Amino acid sequence: MRFKDIPGLHEIKERLIMTVRENRISHAQLFYGEEGSAALAMALAYAQYITCRNRQENDSCGTCSSCIKSDELIHPDILFSYPVVKSGASSKDVRSVSQIDKWRELVLRNPYFGPGQWYEQLGVEKKQGMIYTEESDEIIRKISLKSFESEYKVLIQWLPEKMHINAANKLLKSIEEPPDKTVFLFVSIDPDQILPTIRSRCQALKIPKIDDESLKNFLRKNFSLTEDEMERMVRWAGGNMQELLRLSGTKEDENEFLALFIYWMRISYALNMPELATWIDEVAAMGREKQKAFLKYVLKILRENLMLHLMPAQPSIIRMTKMEYDFSKKFSAFIHPGNIDALYTLLSKAYDHISGNAYGKLVFMDVSLQINKLLKK
Ligand SMILES: [Zn+2]
């Protein structure tokens, strides 16, 4: 990742670049910012700049062998550490490296993710991760080795606030007296939770929100959107890159699901039986997993429609894409406190039935008839 890949934040970039050019890279640094900030992205760009073999005045070159490895998160001198989840006896290895493939995949897809997305990526949404003592042993072992290719060895630790107290204490000594040419980059969303003895040894840098104009430029470069669309997405995102990416990049499935959903609501409301039968055939043909994903999507859209219904003047709280929003502006009139509980229960039960191998066509027919009644409430 290069500095230029991160929208805005010119002062921060300039400051980091100067530390390298003036040869005063601090050996322990803490980048912190709210969830959705560019803190991790900035650490990646900084590490790449530090290790680049052909540094430019304002950025890494992007083409040297070191940059290519940094870009793919496989540089042997850039180490990653992050919380993992101990899930039963099957996962004895609690070092971060045991989850490196999942880490790389997520970081490459979106370096602005938060803990929720990481745990989802690990397949353990309901658990909290931790950085265990074994991980500190691993870090200490790795930084004691000579660097492979670069002058510096860089450790990027995401969420040091998740370090177990023993892990933190173990690492403390290395932070106090690090091996030569070793840089610790800690990336935090909750710096107050970091062990004070560690925090106080780091040079802290707050990564602020990205300004609206830079976000708009980012959208202009990467997506084909109208000025109005960009304007609204940027306003909704409120400087949060994670949110901006979510709003701008709708997954293929979601477009299909939205079209299915709009049509379903229309024919259920009108109780158009022939079209309903055709629609149900189409949904039945999708297969069970996709039907479940569709029902989950419907639950999400209904929840957002309720929010829109209750707080139409506060679009910033609504988590919808532009297409969803355009439809929901009118549809949200039908979703209100008088029917949301029943709709939720109805669709959650349908989800359970489909999961439990019920006959899809019957489930969807029954749900459609109930929706007809509930929308007219
Ligand atoms: Zn380079």
Write the class of the CATH domain 3-208.
alpha beta
Look at the pTM and tell me if it is higher than 0.85: no
Report the alpha-carbon distance of residue 10 to residue 180 in Å, rounded: 29
Q: How far is the CA of 367 from the centre of ligand 1 (A)?
A: 57
pLDDT one-digit tens code per residue, 367-377 = 999 999 999 98
Q: How far is the CA of 73 from the centre of ligand 1 (A)?
A: 14
* Helical axes 322-331 vs 288-310, angle rounded to 10°: 60
pLDDT band of 207, cuts 50, 70, 90: very high
Report the alpha-carbon distance of residue 216 to residue 105 in Å, rounded: 26
Q: What is the pLDDT of residue 206?
A: 97
pLDDT one-digit tens code per residue, 132-144 = 999 999 999 999 9
Lowest mean pLDDT among 90-94, 174-178, 285-289, 330-334: 90-94
Q: Which residue's structure tokens are 């309901």?
A: 126
Q: How far is the CA of 175 from the centre of ligand 1 (A)?
A: 27
- Give the SS3 label for residue 154: strand
Per-residue pLDDT, averaged over 55-82, amounts to: 94
pLDDT one-digit tens code per residue, 75-86 = 999 999 999 998
User: Looking at the predicted structure, is the pLDDT value of residue 65 above 60?
Assistant: yes
Q: How far is the CA of 65 from the centre of ligand 1 (A)?
A: 7
Q: How far is the CA of 86 from the centre of ligand 1 (A)?
A: 37
pLDDT one-digit tens code per residue, 312-364 = 877 666 777 778 888 999 999 999 999 999 999 999 999 999 988 888 899 99
Neighbours of 160 (CB within 10 A): 27
Break the chain into its structural domains and give their ranges: 3-208, 213-248, 252-375
Ion ligand 1: protein residues whose beta carbon lies under 5 Å: 52, 54, 60-61, 64, 67
User: Looking at the predicted structure, is the pLDDT value of residue 88 above 70?
Assistant: no
User: Looking at the predicted structure, is the pLDDT value of residue 250 above 80?
Assistant: no
Answer for the pair 124, 85: CB distance below 8 angstroms, yes or no.
yes
Average pLDDT of the chain to the nearest whole number: 91
What is the topology classification, in CATH, of domain 252-375?
Answer: Zinc Finger, Delta Prime; domain 3 (1.20.272)
Per-residue pLDDT, averaged over 42-48, amounts to: 98
Q: What is the pLDDT of residue 194?
A: 96
Q: How far is the CA of 315 from the centre of ligand 1 (A)?
A: 42
